[in-house]
Amino acid sequence: MKKKIYIEGMVCDHCKKSVEETLKKLSEITEVKVDLNRKMAEVELRTSMDDRKIKEAIEEIGYEVRKIEND
């Protein structure tokens, strides 16, 4: 299963790295790609996962999740 996460507030490579590291810490996520220009992250999951868990993890580090789509 794949998800696209649209994120506001990422402006530099440090922001990108912070989001990548945060998402990689979630045990259900196996792969993370963050695109700074498109302000989004694409993740691959080993099992289904509640979108709220992803949203909370990202918002805890200071970014806003605008939308999460199943891909």
Q: 16: domain CATH number?
A: 3.30.70.100
Count structural domains, the chain. Answer: 1
5: exposed, middle or buried (Cβ count in 10 Å: 0-12, 13-18, 19+): buried
pLDDT at 13: 97
Q: What is the pTM of this model?
A: 0.94
pLDDT at 59: 98
Domain range enclosing 14:
2-70
pLDDT at 71: 85
pLDDT at 61: 98
Low-confidence ranges of the chain (pLDDT < 50): none
